[in-house]
Amino acid sequence: MFEGSLTVEEMSFTYNGQEPKLFLQSMRSISNFESEGVQTLNFTGKFESKTFPQLNQLKDLKIELNSSESKLIFAPANPELSSEIDLIELRLQPNTEVAGLNYDSYNNRLAFSLQPQPTSKSDKKPNDLKLYLGDQALKVSLEGYKLPAVKLANMPEQATLEFIYIPEIKELKLELANDTNLDITTTAHSPNDLDQWFRGKIVTKNVKFQRTDRNGDIRDDLAISTIIEGKIRMIEQEREIKDNQFLMGKNPNSPLNIELIRHLQILPNKGLEVRIAGRTQQIKIGLDKDFPVSSIQGSWLDGVLPRDAIIALFSFGAATISYLLSVLIDNISKSASKP
């Protein structure tokens, strides 16, 4: 068993629980919400467009975003007003990868990718994201879309469509069944607000604190550590992790077996703080994966028994061996003294 606390610029993990898990909640005053990926949306309310007046007669609008590069962008129509757009919650389905999770403190921007990985077609369920849209007029931008019930005259193919939307139904549910990139910008928040965004105790696998630097040829890919600092503890030993060092298990080419993210929060102007726990027999630390400079080595018993029990077992074994040796030596002495 091991545990640790790290500050990182970016991280990725796969949710390994059995039921949908609340991951993100209570993000207030969103000034720009961008979703990229395949999905279908239904808007109800009032629509305004000077370029395409046929939208002005609608009360309902179905939108199909039909490619991995399709985009939906929400923003207040009047940027001088305080935004009423809130992210109510995001729930992860089992076996969903959260990739490239990072927070830009300068721009108050949270970004990550959701990548569902179902084991079969019957397991494919969407990650649910709920937005509160408020009473204000919203500016909506669409790329890579179809409007099944509306034909826009003189609309260039693949052009961005923009219109004003005043929602009648204040809550919008996005069902994210496919790979989706999310980019969410908020107004400035107090540290207390940021503490409420992420829900902890996430059962995980394939946790990574690194990104890949690519130049087009996979043979030239470079793994870049995203760790800023941290500490890791196992078998009553503690190691400090420095900036840009990798945290590895026994095999440097596979991630450390982190089974739980106990806590996740944003540290303003620094990065993400993540507290972890898991099981392994060896932890390695170093700037280069192939040349670790520090390690903690456990034994196979650490995966079977608590540490106190292991210490007691070895103490009992040592005492037993000492007793047997003393008996053996005493018997040998007695035998040697006989004529």
Distance of CA 78 to the CA centre of its chain: 32
- The reported pLDDT for the residue numbered 324 is 65
Segment 217-266, tens digit of pLDDT? 777 788 899 999 999 999 889 999 999 999 988 877 777 899 999 999 99
Segment 58-115, tens digit of pLDDT? 899 999 998 999 999 999 999 888 889 999 999 999 999 999 999 998 899 999 999 9
Segment 312-325, tens digit of pLDDT? 554 555 556 766 66
- The reported pLDDT for the residue numbered 318 is 57
Q: How far is CA 180 from CA 104, 171, 261, 265, in A?
A: 19, 20, 22, 22
User: Quick one: average pLDDT of 300-311?
Assistant: 50
Contacts 24+ apart (CB under 8 A), 75-79: 75/31, 75/32, 75/33, 75/138, 75/139, 75/141, 76/31, 76/136, 76/137, 76/138, 76/139, 77/136, 77/137, 77/138, 77/139, 77/164, 78/136, 78/137, 79/31
> Sorting pLDDT into bands at 50, 70 and 90, what band is 285?
very high
Tell me which of 208-212, 269-273, 292-296, 330-334 is least confident.
Answer: 330-334
Question: How much is the pTM?
Answer: 0.83
Average pLDDT, the chain: 85
What is the number of alpha carbons within 13 Å of residue 29 lying toward its C-beta? 12
Yes or no: say if 267 and 274 are a contact pair by the CB < 8 Å rule.
no
Residue corresponding to tokens 């003393």:
326
User: Quick one: average pLDDT of 277-296?
Assistant: 89
- The H or E element containing residue 193 is helix 191-195
